[in-house]
Amino acid sequence: MLPQAARMRDGDEFRRTIRRGASASTGTVVTHLALTDELGVRVGLVVGKKVGNAVVRNRVKRRIRHALRSELAGLPAGSRVVVRALAPAAESTDLAGDVIGSLQRASRRSSAGRV
């Protein structure tokens, strides 16, 4: 589970991160990463109904949160991350690897600027 302070809940914060952040994708997830002047790292998840029913969506969210938990410390302060799960995420055997890989690629691309 992610710490309470690391969770993104505001819709505007999601939109700003997606619109202005660097993105990277795999076949199972799309990761958006934006750098802000604020303190702390915040993460938001988007898992739509195309992924599956509620049980499957919640399982995918738990797997993504577990993968991100170990990566939070390595992100620069002020990072905002949105991970959007795609339909194949439900059957993925290496979802954690996809999440970490796309986060690393987005991190390399995000060094261009801050939101």
In DSSP notation, the chain reads: ---GGGB---HHHHHHHHHHSEEEE-SSEEEEEEE-SSSS-EEEEEE-TTS-SHHHHHHHHHHHHHHHHTTGGGSPTTEEEEEEE-GGGGG-S-HHHHHHHHHHHHHHHGGG-B-
pTM value? 0.89
| CA gyration radius, the chain | 13
Residue spans of the domains in the chain: they are: 4-110
Query: For every one of its 115 residues, what pLDDT tens digit does the chain have, with 9 covering 90 and above?
Result: 777 888 898 899 999 999 998 999 999 999 999 998 888 899 999 999 999 999 999 999 999 999 998 888 888 888 999 999 999 999 999 999 999 999 999 988 876 444 4
Q: Domain 4-110: which CATH class?
A: alpha beta
Asked if 63 and 29 touch (Cβ cutoff 8 Å), the reply is no
